[in-house]
Structures are given as structure tokens and as C-alpha cells.
Amino acid sequence: MAARLGLLPHAALRLASASSSSPSRALTPFRARLPYPPPPPPFPAYRRASSAAPPRLRPRRALLAPRAMSSSSGNPYAAELAAAKKAVTLAARLCQTVQQDIVQSGVQSKADKSPVTVADYGSQILVSLVLKMEAPGSFSLVAEEDSEELRKEGAEEILENITDLVNETIFDDGSYSISFSKDGILSAIDDGKSEGGPSGRHWVLDPIDGTKGFLRGDQYAIALALIDEGKVVLGVLACPNLPLSSISNLNGGSSEDQVGALFSATIGCGTEVEYLDGSPPQKISVCSIDNPVNASFFESYESAHSLHDLTSSIAKKLGVQAPPVRIDSQAKYGALARGDGAIYLRFPHQGYREKIWDHAAGSIVVTEAGGIVTDASGNELDFSKGRFLDLDSGIIVTNKQLMPSLLKAVQEAIKEQNQAASLFRTSQAPRLTKPWSRCKTEAAARSVLTSPVSLHSPKPTPPPCPFMSQPPEVAGNPYGAELAAAKKAVSLAARLCQRVQQDILQSDVQSKADRTPVTVADYGSQVLVSLALKMGLPSHSFSMVAEEDSKDLRNDGAQEILDHITNLVNETIVSDGSYEVSLSKDDVLTAIDGGKSEGGPCGRHWILDPIDGTKGFIRGDQYAVALGLLDEGRVVLGVLGCPNLPLKSSSKNNGGSSRDVVGSLFSATIGCGAEVEALGGSKPEKISVCPINNPVDASFFESYEASHSKRDLTSSIAEKLGVQAPPVRMDSQAKYGALARGDGAIFLRIPNKSYKETVWDHAAGSIVVTEAGGLVKDASGNDLDFSKGRHLDRDRGIIATNKYLMPLVLKAVQEAIKEEQRTAALE
């Protein structure tokens, strides 16, 4: 678990649309983001996704020798350009190999941080190799990676993987008769330690720009530039997943079906684009729009990289009508350079320091295409200050016609933002506090003292926040007390998770080398659930089957993260105000290990996933705190805390009046139905699955991660059923909650054959659906069996739908699986 952040996310071009009037395309997947669910993108999508198939990656081919620019005559950097194009093309081949492995398998699981690490290092090594072999002059490289982590104990396996992959790529290419040793690999990585500066020549490299896009199978770039006496004079962008053909009519293109674009620019010689696998280069230029009303604009997909509310304000001032196009990586620069959009805005949070490798190549690709790249004050970017840019807040990219009006709008929006922040700070009045009461009696507190989580002297605490009041027991509900405790536990854990997610999105802590945030949130969530259940049910025996244990936190070097978890847990308890407790580090470790139960068919066992949907959590998307109760082998209670899921259903089948509330708490008890309420507190409302009986009218959910469900198979099932709507791909058990209130009619999850489903991934969600009138089965039509321990014992696949559609869905599923098996046997 602790290694979750090692797989840090990034990917295909994402289109964020504020418009709901665009036509939908049959079986073209879209992503469930807030507001949920979003309309299909009105802007032509870069990702070539048809139906529900996974992103199609180009097959590995023999690389063509890079061409010099068609205008190389008189180009003083022609030799460097040819070397740079060769370097990024070779690196792109390695990255494509790794990305294809990620998308087609489950290697991006929580505990495996190797894929991006291998690709990042491997890309940097290959670029370094080619530049040394091909580029004239002395060699200095400013790059993102160094070998420090690879020289540590325990890194031997990943170093071997990198070495093997690099040597295989060199062999496949055939240009160089060399083979790297592991020491050679480490030395090549450390070639990138240069600090750059105003004197001499320095190559600047981002070996994988857009890591999260890379992991999702989406947009990323290998970005290489040359700085000469403090000025960027050359830039090359390899964008393996970007179509060669422009989506704008302003620049022609005949390669409609080709994916993989190579942009290149040299100072004074213009910008060109060619097919990454080789084609004649074509000159490109930025669009000539002079009226911002007709403009479209790019911004970073990751909200940590750009304040979306600020860019929205700027667009409004300009009168921009089109929705923002959100893309990972410097692929945005390439797309803008050929006229796909008119404006690129990047305004990260205050304190964020821009690195030169994130902009060097892209900026010259745009300026040589006739565009302008400045900071928020209108100054050109200065790449002569070392590894970081020295700039006024924000980066603005557009054509010369729009820049004056854009700069004015930017400066007005920033001024208004600063004024609003100042007013907010000065208007804060001291808050009056009231005494709070203990949530339980002294006897109850003393009973918890003897349990694995101990209490210490109470600290002065603020009044309780109205985050989640204890709901009254439901008349006739045999699990009323357990339900109240579970809802309190999940709500308290959700508060901690929301805080950590906000920190992730507002900073750059989710960088490749920092796996702390999700680790802290996972452990912290589990500790708080354990605490709340013991405090809320002091007379009950306690057994919990949960995802985490404390093994990694007891290792040498884990002291800092344990301190962080302990502090965050105690701060959350204090801000809630329900419990006068303070946990020591030993208490935290003991509470985490309270989840080591194996479950089984006898007795009562709580089942917890402290953060279900880790990758959604990191991206700022859907995740859930999922808690179920197993009684004599049967799930009898479930609670889902979904902090990013709007309370209002998108279906007309279930009403809702809380239109703008985000944060849903689903709950269900056996025989008592399912309900939803605001995570921050509101009156619970009964929910039910949709009553659709014709699959043609149905929409269906599937897992966002390709490794969790075979999309070619679910696409085949949807086709057999005649489903017209595109699949809604969402992280976590939030899908179960959405289906339970009628947002969709079907949920299909059919992972690879060897995948073992864990009980915590389905216990809470399944009862929420069944108590809302739905059915949850395996591929053979059997009920899910949670009595076998920590894993489900079921026939391949999980299907959730209503009683009308289940016979049809089961038939389609079984036919599709049978056809798949026949095809596999023939192969």
C-alpha cells in the first residue's frame, strides 16, 4: 500500500467541457468527473478511443532515421536538431513499450511503482546516449532524474529492469552496437545533473512529461531543448499519443489515422511537425484568430498545475465561448503551435516553482510557429537562471493578435483574486467556542483504554463541527447502533481524506518520488474508523478485515511518516470534537493492526477499504471510504462515503433537492432499504435502482482502470445487449452508490482471469445496491460469497443491475466470455 504513489498518474488528452449540448458518440467512453456525470466532449478528442476499448498504442516498429528540417539550409543547429529528433524518437519507443505493458496488464497496481520509474530513467538514458553519439560539442544535460534512488539497497531489481529495457531498445533500433552495464546506466542517468545557467550550451530534458497521462494511457511527451548562452535555440517534442492530423481547419493534414506526432523548432527556422515513425516534415503555425469569442483554450489537466477557477474567470472576461481543453504534458504546446487552440493558460498555486524542462521545448515550438509565450506580467520566460524559471505568476501562450487582450484579462483576474483573498483574511472574526460534551460516558472511555487504541489526557479542543451528527436508530432496524457508528466512522475518515486530497491538489506533493500523501490518508482513515467503531460500540467485540497493516510503518526510516499520520489523525479528532482522545504513535500502529482479521463464516467482522479508488483520489476524482459489516458470513450493513460525488442524482427516478451539494453518504442495512444523505449532514432519503427493462435505454458503469475490467469484453457485452450509451468509467465503489440511486442501469466488472477480488472492494457497495432493489451476481449468476475470508470465491466477473435486466445481462456476459475463450483456444 505504501507504494501507491510510486505509480503516479498522468495520461490521454482530457477534454473538460462546460457544455452539455454537444452530440454524443456511440460507445465513446467519457470520464465521470465533477460535475457528475459530465457531457461528452464537444471538442474533437485527441484520444482515439472507439467504443469501450482501451487506448490503442502503436506497435513497435523499426525507427526511421530522423530527418533534418526541410529548411535546414542555413540552420546553424541542423546537426543538433537531427540528434535531438533521433534521441526523443528512440526514447519514445521505450516509453511506448512500457505504456503498452501498463495499459494491457495490471502492473500499475498499488504496490508496484516500477513502470513509470523504468520508463523515466530509460528515456533519460537513451536521450543522453544519442546526444553523446550524434551531437557535436561538449555535453551538458539538465534533466529531471538522478540515480540516487537506484543506488539504495533494495533497488537492484528495478535497476536490472531498466538495464534490460534500455539494451533491448538499443538492439531493436540497430543504430548503435553497444550494451550498457548497470554501472553504465547509473552514470548515464547522472549525466543530467547539470544546473544549466546563462553560459555555454545545455540540453534540457523531461524524459516523460505528463506522468499521470502516461499511466492512464493518455497524453505525455518526451521534451528536449537546447539552451545556448541562456536562450532556448532548439526544441523537440515527441507526443506518442497525439494524432498527427490537426483538429483545426487552419492547418491542413492528410494523415487522419496516424497517431504519434514529432514537433521540432530551431530559432529563426520555424516549426515543423512530422509522424513520429517518419514522414516528410510540414511547416505549422499558430491560429490567426483575433477575436477571443472565437478562441478555444488549453490548460493543464492536473488542477495542481493550474487554478481552474482563475482560468475560468480569465476566459469569462475575454468572452471565450468554448470549454477549456485539458491535456497532460507539453503536448499542449505542440497542439497550440499547429492551431488546434488559440490560448494556453497555466496558473499553479502560489509557491509552485516552474522547472525549465516543463517549458523549454514547448515554448520554442510555439514561438517559432508565430506565437508568444510570456509570464503574467508579459515578460518572456527566462531559462538562464538554472533548473527553475524566475517568473511572475503564471504562463500565458497565444498568438500576437490575442496577447494584449489576454494579458489585460489575466492581470485583472489576478488583481480581483488578490483583493478577494485580502478581504477574506481581514473579515475573519474570532469564533466563540462552547463547551462540548463527551461522546460517551467515563466508563465507556475507560473501556476503550483497555482496547488496542488507548486514550491519553484530553487536549483542549475546539467545538465539534456539524460534520456528521449521530443519526437516530431506525425503528425496527436490528443494526441501528452499528449503522450509526459506521456512518460516524466513515464521515470522520472522509474528513481526513478530504484534507489530504486538497493538499495533494494544491501542491506538487504527488511527485514521482513522494509516496507519502496516499499512505498517510490510507492509514489515517483506517485508524479513525477503528477508533469510531470502538467508541460507538464499546460493549461489542471487535474484528475488522481491512486493507492495511502496520508492517511498513515499523521499518527503519518510517518514523517521519508515522509522525505525520499520528498528527493528522489527532488533528482530525480535535477538529471533529466528538472524542476527548489523543493517540500516541504506538496507538496508531495498534489501531492499524486492528484490521488484520481474516473474516470468515462465523461471528461479526467489519470490512473496510480506507480509500477505495486510490488513483481517483490522487487525481482529485472519485474515491470512497467503504465500510461493511459481515454477520455469520453475510453482509448485513454497508456505508459508502463518497466525498467527490454530488448528492443530486442525475436520474429522474430519484428526486433530490440539494443541487449544489457535493459529497454523498450512502447507507444500507439488510431488510431496511438504502438511503443517501449529504456527507456533511442532511436528512437521509430513500433511493432505488432504475426500473429500465430495455437494455437499449440503459447506461452502464465500468472501472476507470483498465486492469480492473477487460474493456474489449465489456464492449462486446454492451453490443450484444444493444446498449447505445457510452460507458461511464469511474474509480471506486462510488459506482455502486450511483447505480443504487438510478444514475445508471448496469455495472460490469470483468477483470483478467487471474485477478482475485478482495472482500473490501465490494462488501459495502453490494448491499447498498441490493437494498436499493438491485442484484449483484458473479458471471454464473451466483450471489457474491463474503464468507471465505479476505478474498471473494466467485466465478469470473461481477455484474450489478436491476431485476429486469439481470437475465439479459447474464446471457450476454456468458456468451461473450464463451466467445473470448473460443478465440483464445484458436490462437
Tell me, what's the pLDDT at 506?
A: 62
Q: 230 by DSSP, 3-state: which?
A: coil
Sign of CA dihedral 515, 516, 518, 519: positive
| Consecutive H or E run containing 42 | none
- Rounded to the nearest 5°, which phi and psi values hold at 172? -60, -35
DSSP string spanning 334-387?
A: HHHHTTS-SEEEE-PPTT---BGGGTHHHHHHHHTTTEEEEETTSPBP---SSS
Quote the mean pLDDT of the chain.
79
Q: How far apart are CA 755 and CA 333, in angstroms?
A: 40
Give the contacts of 558 (CB within 8 A, at least 6 positions apart). Answer: 552
Q: 139 by DSSP, 3-state: which?
A: coil
Q: How far apart are CA 71 and CA 92, in angstroms?
A: 24
Q: How far apart are CA 231 and CA 381, in angstroms?
A: 10
Q: How far apart are CA 769 and CA 737, in angstroms?
A: 7
| Residues of the chain under the 70 pLDDT cut | 1-73, 103-116, 247-257, 303-305, 350-351, 392, 420-476, 506-518, 650-660, 706-709, 794-795, 827
Give the contacts of 236 (CB within 8 A, at least 6 positions apart). Answer: 81, 84, 85, 87, 88, 223, 224, 225, 262, 263, 264, 265, 361
Closest CA to 385 of 231, 192, 235: 231
Indicate the annotated binding residues for Mg(2+).
144, 206, 208-209, 358
Q: In terms of C-beta density within 10 A (0-12 exposed, 13-18 middle, 19 or more buried), how is residue 316 classed? A: exposed
Q: How far apart are CA 317 and CA 311, in angstroms?
A: 10
DSSP string spanning 732-773?
A: STHHHHHHHTTS-SEEEE---TT---BGGGTHHHHHHHHHTT
C-alpha cell at 708: 480492473
Q: What is the CA radius of gyration of the chain?
A: 27
Q: How far apart are CA 195 and CA 324, in angstroms?
A: 35
The CATH architecture to which 442-671 belongs is 2-Layer Sandwich (3.30)
- Rounded to the nearest 5°, which phi and psi values hold at 488? -65, -45
Angle between helices 711-721 and 806-826 (to 10 degrees): 130
Closest CA to 587 of 567, 572, 611, 605: 567
C-alpha cell at 819: 466467445
CATH number, domain 78-279, options 3.40.50.700, 2.70.98.60, 3.30.540.10, 3.20.20.70: 3.30.540.10
Q: What is the dihedral of CA 150, 99, 387, 336, to 10 degrees?
A: 180
Give the contacts of 630 (CB within 8 A, at least 6 positions apart). Answer: 545, 599, 604, 605, 606, 607, 636, 759, 763, 786, 787
Q: Does the annotation count 211 as an active-site position?
A: yes
Q: What is the pTM of this model?
A: 0.51
Give the contacts of 457 (CB within 8 A, at least 6 positions apart). Answer: 582
- Rounded to the nearest 5°, which phi and psi values hold at 290? -120, -5
Tell me, what's the pLDDT at 212?
A: 82
Q: Does the annotation count 120 as an active-site position?
A: yes
Is domain 695-826 classified as CATH 3.90.1300.10?
A: no
Beta bridge partners of 1: none
Q: How far apart are CA 564 and CA 314, in angstroms?
A: 38
Sign of CA dihedral 337, 340, 341, 342: positive
Q: Considering the candidates 120, 328, 612, 743, report the single residue annotated as catalytic.
A: 120
Q: What is the dihedral of CA 599, 604, 609, 610, to 10 degrees?
A: -130
- Rounded to the nearest 5°, which phi and psi values hold at 637? -155, 145
The hierarchical CATH code for the domain 287-424 is 3.40.190.80
Q: How far apart are CA 618 and CA 621, in angstroms?
A: 7
Beta bridge partners of 228: 201, 231
C-alpha cell at 623: 474515491
List the beta strands (DSSP E) in 400-500.
none
C-alpha cell at 750: 470483468
Indicate the annotated binding residues.
144, 206, 208-209, 358
Please report, for the chain, the start and end positions of each structural domain, with discontinuous segments joined by +.
78-279, 287-424, 442-671, 695-826
Q: How many Cβ atoms are within 10 Å of 512's Cβ, its own excluded? A: 18
- Identical fold for domains 287-424 and 442-671, yes or no, is no
C-alpha cell at 412: 485583472
Q: Considering the candidates 163, 169, 211, 516, report the single residue annotated as catalytic.
A: 211
Tell me, what's the pLDDT at 307?
A: 79
Cα angle value 487/491/492 (rounded, 5°): 120
Instruction: Classify 718 in phi/psi space as left (phi over 0), alpha (psi -120 to 50) or beta.
Output: alpha
Closest CA to 488 of 500, 501, 471, 474: 471
Residues 89, 66 contacting (CB under 8 angstroms): yes
3-state helix, strand, coil in the chain (%, to 5): 35, 20, 45
